[in-house]
Amino acid sequence: MNDKRPLVTILLSPATKSMVLGDNGAAALAEVADVRFAPEDPAEWDLPVLLADATACLTGWGTPRLSAELLEQCSRLGLIAHTAGSIRNLVPEDLVGTRVRVCQSAAVIALSVAEHTLTQMLVCLRQVHLLDRGLRDGAGWGELRAAYPGRLLRHRTVGVVGASRTGCAVIDLLRAFGPRIVVSDPLLTEQQAAELGVELVDLDTLLSTADVVSLHAPLLPSTENMLGARELGLLRDGTILINSARGRLIDADALYAELDSGRIIAALDVFETEPLPADSRWRRVPNALITPHSAGHSDDSHRLQGTAMVEEVVRFLRGEPLQYEIAADAVATLA
């Protein structure tokens, strides 16, 4: 390797590398730096050796945790570019923005989650899955149309819990449909709400007035089980509850009881235990549309995640401002 060129280490498994990086991403890095690839078998990864003399590294799903001790050894490492979302299990939070700069692809993933969330809203409002199931089971044409007449998104009130990246991306998509949008977020100001074109309300008001409730809050000690039996009891009959954020935002037993009663409808992409066991009750839950934590996954978003982080590394090496950097004071509130 050329001593005059910076070194970038790629800490991605073969599957993740193929998914997010491809040949073009590696080639773009090679134009500005020497590139070191981790062995194909993650069991053979020697992180101190792989990161020795590296100026930046690219990480993603399956990358082992980069401990404080490791970062202390790798004194030249100045940037970690994470091609996935959460960094909680990747790097010590107190070192982000202090010992090492970190950027992530959460903003790109938010676009994918937002589209998935909008799809869930429309499917549940129009009950597409039930119409499909009924036709396949031999139900009558007119019988199904009478049983599942559907509702228009434009005439609903949508409650967004958490004005996060994803929450704001959902709001952006909703504008084209024209529903009333209410938001609950303790960090959102009235001025920011006005700029988003939404109404800022407290959580109880949102739950008791919205026809569709979509969760986009981070999982923190203060938000775990934020929707318990009392909060779920505020939902009106027929409310659609969507969770594409984190399973533990909702008390699982309380949610199951509400769904079992038939009082509300849910679209769930996340669960308290993942992957779902084969005998999980959620596989049999009534009145729910369930998906395997797939909201943030699409071929397009995967490649965009890698591209975004490759571009961040290039900016870093050129001394340019980063677009997706995590500020040290923002780490505590990230999902």
Fold of the domain spanning 151-290:
Rossmann fold (3.40.50)
Residue with tokens 């429309």: 122
Q: Establish whether the linkage from the previous residue to 92 is cis, with ω within 30° of 0.
A: no
Domain coordinates of the chain in residue numbers?
A: 7-108+299-333, 151-290
Residues with a known catalytic role: 246, 274, 293
**Greatest C-alpha distance within the chain:** 74
End-to-end distance of the chain based on CA atoms, in angstroms? 38
Cα–Cα distance between 283 and 229 in angstroms, integer?
21
Q: What is the second-level CATH architecture of the domain 7-108+299-333?
A: 3-Layer(aba) Sandwich (3.40)
Tokens of 45: 């990864």
- Residue 60's pLDDT is what? 96
d(CA 119, CA 13) in angstroms, rounded, equals 31
Q: What are the tokens at 49? A: 């050796």
pTM listed for this prediction: 0.92
pLDDT at 3: 59
CB burial class (10 A; 0-12, 13-18, 19+) of residue 172?
middle
Contact 143, 202 (CB under 8 A): no
Q: The tokens 């007449």 sit on which residue?
A: 149
Spatial separation of the C-alpha atoms in residues 255 and 4, rounded to whole Å = 58
What pLDDT sits at residue 187? 94
Query: Is 151-290 the same fold as 7-108+299-333?
Result: yes
d(CA 194, CA 226) in angstroms, rounded, equals 25
Q: What pLDDT tens digit does each residue of the chain (335 aa) get?
A: 455 799 999 999 999 999 999 778 889 999 999 999 999 999 999 999 999 999 999 999 999 999 999 999 999 999 999 999 989 899 999 999 999 999 999 999 999 999 999 999 999 999 999 999 999 999 999 999 999 999 999 999 999 999 999 999 999 999 999 999 999 999 999 999 999 999 999 999 999 999 999 999 999 999 999 999 999 999 999 999 999 999 999 999 999 999 999 999 999 999 999 999 999 999 999 899 999 999 999 999 999 999 999 999 999 999 999 999 999 888 877 76
